[in-house]
Structure 1
Amino acid sequence: MRETLERADRASMQLLTGAGLALVSYLFVGVLLFTAVACLIVVGLGVLPETVLLLRRMARFKRRQVARWSGVEIPEAYTPLTGTLTARVRAALRDPGTWRDLRWLVAHFAYGLVLLYAMLVLWVFGAFVDGVWCGLLRRKAVVLPLIGRLAALDAAWSRTLLMPAPQALRAAELAERVEELTATRADAVAAHGAELRRIERDLHDGAQARLVSLSMRVGLAKRAYDKDPDAARKLLDDAQLQAEEALTELRHVVRGIHPPILTDRGLVGAVRALAAGSGLDVTVRDDGVEAGPRAPAAVEAAAYFVVAEALTNAAKHSGAERASVDLARRRTGLWIVVRDEGRGGADGAGAGSGLLGMRRRVAALDGIMEVNSPAGGPTAVEVELPCVW
C-alpha cells in the first residue's frame, strides 16, 4: 500500500508539472502572436530564432520530465540556428523540429489540463470512498493506480508527439558527427603544429647548434694542424665529442617522431622497456596484443606515447610506488589502461598539458580516452584506439 501511495504521489507531481507547463504554453501563445506580428514588420525577424529557441527549451523540459517518469529518453533532432540572421530565420522555419514542437505545444495545452482534472477527480473520489466506507486500504488500492496510469498516458502522448522522425534523427546524428570530426581535425592540426614546432626547436637548439660547433672545431683543427699538432688533436677530440652529442640529439628527435624501439620490439616490448625505466614498480599485462598481427604504426605510436606520458605523470605527480599497464586486443581495436595507486586528482582544474596532448593524440585517431582520478586516488587512464587487425 505504501508503494502505491508513493507512486500515486509521484504521478500527481508529474501531472501537476505537466499542467503547469500547459499553462505556460497558453502564455506562450502570446509570444507566438508577438513573433508573428514582428516578422510581418520584417524589422522584427530577429525575434523568430529566439522564440524557436524558447520553444525548444520547453520541449526539452518535457522530454526530461517524461524520461524521469518512464525511464525512456526522447532524442532531440534540431537544425542548429547559427550564421547570419537570414540563415537563422530560414533554418528555424525549415526545421521539422520547430513544427513538431508547435504541434506538441498545442496538443499538450489540451491533454495536460484534461489529465490534471481527471487526477483531481480520482483523488476526490478516493477521499469520498474512504469517508463513506471503512475499507480504506482496499478502496485506495483500486483508485490510486489509476493516477499512475494517467501519468503514463501523459508520457506516452508526449513521447509520440516529440519523437523525431528517423530521417531527422539520422540527419542530427550526422551533423553531430561532423561537428565532432571538425573538432577532432582541429585538435589534430594543433597537435601536428605543436609537434613540428617541437621538432624544429629540438633541431635548432640541439643538433644544429652542436653541428655548428663541430664544424668550427674541425676548421680550427685544420688551421692548427701544421703549427700546433697537440692543439689540433685536442680540437679533433672535442669535435668527436660534439659529433657524438649531435647524434644523441638526433636520436632523441627521431624517438619523438616514431620510437625505433617500436619497430624493433613491438608495442608490448616497447611498453616493458618504458616500465623498466619509469622509476616505479610497473606490472605490464598483455591480453593477445603480442600474439596476433601488429596494429598499424600510427596506432602503436599513439599507444606508446600515451603509456609513456601516463607513467611519467605517475612518477612525477602521483606519489605512487606501483603502477600497472594493461594492453588488450579487442575486436574494435587496441585497449590500454594505465593505473597507479597515487593521490589522484590528475584530471582536475589544474591538469597540465600532458593530458591534453594525450587526448589530442587519441582524438586524431578517432579514439576514446577516459581519466578516472578521484581525490585520494587511484588514477586510471583508459584509452581505446580503433584499428583493423
Structure 2
Amino acid sequence: MREVLRSAVRASFHLVTGAGLSVVCYLMIGLTLLAATATACVIGAGMLPETVRVLRGLAGFERRRVAAWLGTPVPERYLPLDQGSLLERVRAAGSDPGTYRDLRWLAAQLLYGLVLCYAAMVLWPLGLLVDGVWCGLARRPAVLLPRLSELATLEARISRQLLLPSPSARLSERIDQLAATRAGAVAAHGAELRRIERDLHDGAQAHLVALSMRLGLARRAYDQQPAAARTLLDAAQDQAEEALAELRHVVRGIHPPVLTDRGLVGAVRALAAGSGLEVSVAVQGLADGPEDGGRAPAAVEAAAYFVVAEGLTNAAKHSGADRATVELWREDGMLRVRVRDEGRGGADEGSGTGLLGVRRRVAALDGSVCLTSPSGGPTVVEVVLPCAW
C-alpha cells in the first residue's frame, strides 16, 4: 500500500502541475490574441515574434515534463526567429507549422489538463476509502489509487501527441540529418582513402622499391660475385615478406579477413585475445562463426568490428584499465555493441580522430553512438546499428 500511495502522490503532482500549466495557458492565449491584434494593426508587429518565443518556451517546458513522466523525449522543430529583418521574423513566426501545433496544444491543455486534475481530486478520497478497506480487510491489491498513474500517463500521451512536430517538419529534419550523415560519410571515405594511399606509399611501395633495387644489384653481381648475390637475394626475400605484411595490414584496414573467416563474434574474440587486457565477451542472438544464419550484412559487421577495435585500443593505450567488457546482441532489427573499460575515464571525442571516425562510420549506416566517460571512469561506448538479418 505504501508503494501505491507513493505512486499516486507522484501522479497527482504531475496532474496538479498540468492544471497549473492550464492556467498559464489561459493567460498565454490572451497574450497571443493581443500580439496578433497588434501585428494586424502593424504598430505592434514586433510583439508577435517575442510572443511566439514565449509560447515555445512554455511548450518546451511541457515537453520536458512529458519526457520525465513517459521516459522518452519529445522532439521539437521550429523555424528560427532571430534571423533577418523584423518583417522576416514576423513571417517566420506566423508561417511556422510548429507555432500552430503549439497553439493547438495550448487550447487543448485548457480542457484536458483541468479535467484530469479534477478527476484526480475526486479519485483521491474514494481511493483512500475503498482501497484502505480493500487492502486492509480483504487483503487485496488497491483498485482506485493506481488509476491516478493511468490518468497522468493519459495526460502525458495527449500532450506528446499534440506537441510532436508535423510530418513535413519531421521529413525536413530527416533530410537535414541524412545530409549531415552523407557529408560525414564522404569525409570518412576521403580520410580512409588518404590513409590507404599513405600506407601504400610509405609502407608497401617503399618495400617494393627497395626489393627492386636489391634484385637489380643481385642480378649484376650474380656472375662475378655469387656469394654477394646470394646475400642480396636473401635480403630481397626479407623485403618481399615485409611488403606482403604491409599489404596485409592495408587490406585488414579496409575489411578484416578475419570477419570473413570467423564471423563477427570470432573476430571480436580474436581482438579481445590480442588486446593485452583481460576482456570478457558476451554475445546474444549472433552466430558464433562464419555461418550465414544470424549474421548482419558485411558493412554492419565491419563497422561493429572497428568499434570494438577502437574501444579496446583506447582502453589499452589511454584508460589505464587492466580489464574490459564487450557485449554484442540483437534486438528489434538492431545490432548493439557496447565496450566498457574500468579505467580513469575522461575520454573526449575532440582529442583525437579515432572516436570521430567511429561516429562517422556508424552514422553512414544510419546508426547512433553514445559515449559515457565521467572522470574516474568507467568509459562506455555503446553503438546501435540498424540492419536486416
Query: TM-score over 0.5 for the alignment?
Result: yes
- 8 Å CA contact 1:213–1:242 kept in 2: the answer is yes
Deviations 1:303-344 (A, max 9, x none): 111111111111112222222222223341322222222222
Report the Cα distance in structure 2 between the residues aligned to 1:363 and 1:190, rounded to whole angstroms: 12
Match of 2:79 in 1: 80
**Which stretch has the larger CA shift, 77-86 or 365-374?**
77-86
| Structure 2 residue aligned with 1:259 | 256
Question: What SS does the aligned partner of 1:345 have?
Answer: coil
Q: Which amino acid aligns with 1:272?
A: R
Q: Which runs of 5+ in 1 are unaligned?
A: 116-151
After TM superposition, the structure 1 stretch with the greater mean CA deviation from structure 2, 264-273 or 334-343, is: 334-343
2: CA distance, partners of 1:255 / 1:337: 22
Give 1:137's aligned residue: none
1-structure distance, mates of 2:377, 2:329: 24
Q: Which amino acid aligns with 1:229?
A: P
1:88-107: CA deviation from partner (whole Å, max 9, x where unpaired): 76554433443455677799
1:16-55 alignment runs, 5 A limit: 32=36, 35-36=39-40, 50-51=49-50, 53-55=52-54
| Runs (5+) with no aligned partner, structure 2 | 1-5, 115-150
Once the two structures are superposed, the pairs formed by residues 111-260 of structure 1 within 5 Å of their partners are 163=162, 169-260=166-257
Q: Distance in 2 between matches of 1:318 and 1:71?
A: 36
When residues 78 and 244 of structure 1 are mapped into structure 2, their CA distance, relative to the original with a 3 A threshold, is: closer
Q: CA deviation at 1:260?
A: 0.7
Q: Report if the CA contact (8 A) 2:208-2:240 is conserved.
A: yes
Which residue of the partner structure matches residue 384 of structure 1?
Answer: 384
Percent identity for Structure 1 against Structure 2: 56
More deviation, 277-286/60-69? 60-69
Q: Which amino acid aligns with 2:236?
A: A
CA change 1:101–1:358 in 2 (3 A) is closer
- Seen in structure 2, the aligned counterparts of structure 1 residues 96 and 74 have a Cα distance that, compared at 3 Å, is farther
The 3 A distance-change label for structure 1 pair 77 and 24 is closer
CA-CA distance at 1:72 after TM superposition: 9.9
Does the alignment pair 1:339 with 2:340?
yes
Query: Residues of 2 paired with 1:236 and 1:71: CA distance?
Result: 73
Letter in 1 for 2:275: S
Segment drifting more, 195-204 vs 205-214 = 205-214
Counterpart-to-counterpart distance in 1, 2:297 and 2:303: 10
Q: Identify the residue that residue 352 of structure 2 maps to in structure 1.
A: 352
Which region of structure 1 is more displaced relative to structure 2, 189-198 or 90-99?
90-99
| Counterpart residue number, 2:142 | none
The alignment partner of 1:219 has SS state of helix
1:312 and 2:309 matched: no
Normalised by the length of structure 2, the TM-score is 0.69
Amino acid at match of 2:294: P
| Aligned-partner Cα distance in 1 for 2:266–2:67 | 50
Is residue 277–residue 323 contact of structure 2 (8 Å, CA) maintained in 1? yes
8 Å CA contact 1:262–1:301 kept in 2: the answer is yes
Q: Does the CA contact (< 8 Å) of 2:310 and 2:354 recur in 1?
A: yes
Which residue matches 1:273? 270
How far apart are the structure 1 equivalents of 2:287 and 2:23? 62
Maintained 8 Å contact 1:332/1:387: yes
Q: 1:20 Cα deviation (Å)? A: 6.8
State the alpha-carbon separation in 1 of the partners of residues 18 and 259 from structure 2: 59
Helix, strand or coil: the match of 1:163?
helix
**Structure 1 residues 90 and 214: CA distance shift in structure 2, 3 A:** farther
* Cα separation, partners in 2 of 1:376 and 1:100, compared to 1, 3 Å: closer
SS of equivalent residue, structure 2 residue 276: coil
- Equivalent residues of 1:289, 1:329 under 8 A apart: yes
State the Cα RMSD in Å.
Answer: 4.6
Rg larger in structure: 1
Q: Distance in 2 between matches of 1:203 and 1:233?
A: 28
Residues 214 and 100 (structure 1), Cα distance of their counterparts in 2 relative to 1, 3 Å cut: closer
Q: CA 1:79–1:20 in structure 2 vs 1: closer, same or farther (change >3 Å)?
A: closer
8 Å CA contact retained: 1:104, 1:162: no
Output the CA distance in 2 between the equivalents of 1:79 and 1:326. 38
Q: Distance in 2 between matches of 1:283 and 1:224?
A: 56
Q: Deviations over 1:56-85 (max 9, x none)?
A: 434425635874998799956655349987
* Distance across 2 between alignment mates of 1:335 and 1:9: 37
Q: Partner residue of 2:297? A: 296
Q: State the distance in 2 between where 1:176 and 1:36 align.
A: 31
* One-letter identity of the residue aligned with 1:356: L
Contact 2:185 2:364 in 1 (8 A): yes
CA distance in 2 between counterparts of 1:237 and 1:19 reads 90
Aligned length: 343
Normalized against structure 1, the TM-score is what? 0.69
Cα pair distance change 1:49/1:189, threshold 3 Å: farther
Conserved in 1, the CA contact under 8 Å of 2:59 and 2:102?
no
Distance 1:263 1:58, change over 3 A: closer
Question: Any conservation in 2 of the 1:214–1:239 contact (CA below 8 Å)?
Answer: yes
Quote the Cα distance in structure 2 between the aligned partners of 1:101 and 1:232. Answer: 85
Give distance in 2, aligned partners of 1:70 and 1:281. 40
2:381 is paired with a residue of what secondary structure? strand
